[in-house]
Structure 1
């Protein structure tokens, strides 16, 4: 299934995209794409519905992040060897975890306002997993059963704040709009091989990033199991799993986003995002 949330910010409704790419309204069946709806049992109930029995909805609706109720937005750094090399960093021996503020979450086509005082805004196309069931100290063999599905994430980053302001990557990763998710949550059963997802990202129509999840240093199961060793992941939590090479900070000379730049990114199964970056208001 491809699950979405549509409508104005703060008033999104749950929906799905059917086999004919028609937006269908799920609000008569569930309150939101959150909590128990994301469990194996909850998703099985949605899967049993006939999509054609659901009301069609205007496809021009804004899409929000495809999951609600997120308490924890976890990210993984340097999870592709070539990306670690382009930033002059060592390949980590264990998954390098950090947080993005939940308040950074945005829809896949929402604009991003460049924060006042920032100067090095960068892009990172990533695959994120959405947790479907409480996940604490689970084995690698069990980890995938706790994942509801996958979605795209642009891990927007302010490199000065991330690396030159005394540590704590959280500061450079968390401004409003720095966590676009979606356009849809693709349930785990729809992804035959999570280790074969091809990713791309363009800036103003120029290809900057291409990569595949086959090149991840730590795979999805390893990351989720590892994170759960230290803290509980709850339904609706997001774990975004790192970016391939081709970020602006790794270019010679570095290239960063400015007013009017357009970032597009995608994957054949997970859809596409588009963000217009604008100067501070």
Structure 2
């Protein structure tokens, strides 16, 4: 299933499932369809679906199949007309760094990066309050001229897991969504000279994410997922997850030392092509007000962001 979290006109959170209606992708409002059918126990939110496990998934699939047969407009929403929310509410997000092979190589091209390694996953934390939904306007801070893009895949956790859990890390993945790790490079690079990284990744709005979660059962071969990013229609990044240094289960196993809970997010890192490593001068490649950024993962969708 492809899942959406959005807001209706009355302001309440809705759980939507993507369905094809008259040849177009539309959103079936699960709670409204379940109410029309007169069944109880169907999850009414994304977190209720995640935390409800297989029983919640089965109930949602049953309601979806019933609703698709009837296609009543009262429970169908147009994705172009809804107010998007982040796929999950504010959660912890653990971000891998330099986890695509070719991106690691382009990073090593700089003399200051000569000590980079890939012996174990490394990264940083993205604050939950930094995350913003599909089609958000993100303001470039006044003190930032080197605003960079990074398309990534974010894993959505469906089970609690820690360093002592006796479960397969892959089974803890509920689904996959799209993430654009916006970065203030001038701040980030100075922080990294002190062996730290925080502000350069966590200005307000620096975490566009969404619009959909594609459930893990729909992705039999995660390494085949293809991701790409365009700025004003120009392709800047394109790769697939076969170039990952640490795959999805390895990232879950490593970050589980924090003690992960359902709804937590883990990002993969980004492939090559970021503005920072364009030669000889990256300045023309950085994002500026007026830019339209599209971050895509084939099979999941396209995450749009507008820089203002």
Assess same fold via TM > 0.5. Answer: yes
Q: Tell me if 1:50 matches 2:50.
A: no
Gaps in structure 2 of 5+ consecutive residues: 33-41, 69-74
User: Hey, what does 2:188 align to over in structure 1?
Assistant: 162
Q: Tell me if 1:188 matches 2:208.
A: no
- Quote how far apart the aligned CAs of 1:235 are: 0.8
1:85 aligned counterpart, secondary structure: helix
Pairing partner for 1:250 from 253, 269, 277 = 277
User: Hey, what does 2:244 align to over in structure 1?
Assistant: 216
1:150-182 residue CA offsets vs partner (Å, 9 max, x unmatched): 011011111122221344322111122211111
Return the alpha-carbon distance in structure 2 between the equivalents of residues 26 and 169 of structure 1: 40
Q: Tell me if 1:116 matches 2:142.
A: yes
Return the alpha-carbon distance in structure 1 between the equivalents of residues 8 and 138 of structure 2: 16
Bigger radius of gyration among the two: 2
1:49 aligned counterpart, secondary structure: helix
User: Hey, what does 2:85 align to over in structure 1?
Assistant: 64
User: Hey, what does 1:261 align to over in structure 2?
Assistant: 291
1:162-212 residue CA offsets vs partner (Å, 9 max, x unmatched): 221344322111122211111100000011210001111111111110101
Return the alpha-carbon distance in structure 2 between the equivalents of residues 45 and 175 of structure 1: 39
Return the alpha-carbon distance in structure 2 between the equivalents of residues 45 and 141 of structure 1: 25
Is 1:131–1:237's contact at 8 Å kept on the other side of the alignment?
A: yes
Return the alpha-carbon distance in structure 1 between the equivalents of residues 183 and 61 of structure 2: 36
1:34 aligned counterpart, secondary structure: helix
Relative to structure 1, the CA distance from residue 53 to residue 129 in structure 2 (aligned partners, 3 Å threshold; closer, same or farther) is same
Is 2:227–2:240's contact at 8 Å kept on the other side of the alignment?
A: yes
1:269 aligned counterpart, secondary structure: coil
Is 2:160–2:260's contact at 8 Å kept on the other side of the alignment?
A: yes
Q: Tell me if 1:274 matches 2:307.
A: no
Pairing partner for 1:27 from 18, 23, 31 = 31
Gaps in structure 1 of 5+ consecutive residues: none
- Quote how far apart the aligned CAs of 1:243 are: 0.6
- RMSD of aligned alpha carbons: 2.1
Higher helix residue share: 2
Larger mean Cα displacement after TM superposition, 169-178 or 239-248: 169-178
Higher relative contact order structure (alpha carbons within 8 Å, sequence separation ≥ 6): 1
Return the alpha-carbon distance in structure 1 between the equivalents of residues 57 and 208 of structure 2: 23
Is 2:8–2:14's contact at 8 Å kept on the other side of the alignment?
A: no
Is 2:86–2:134's contact at 8 Å kept on the other side of the alignment?
A: yes
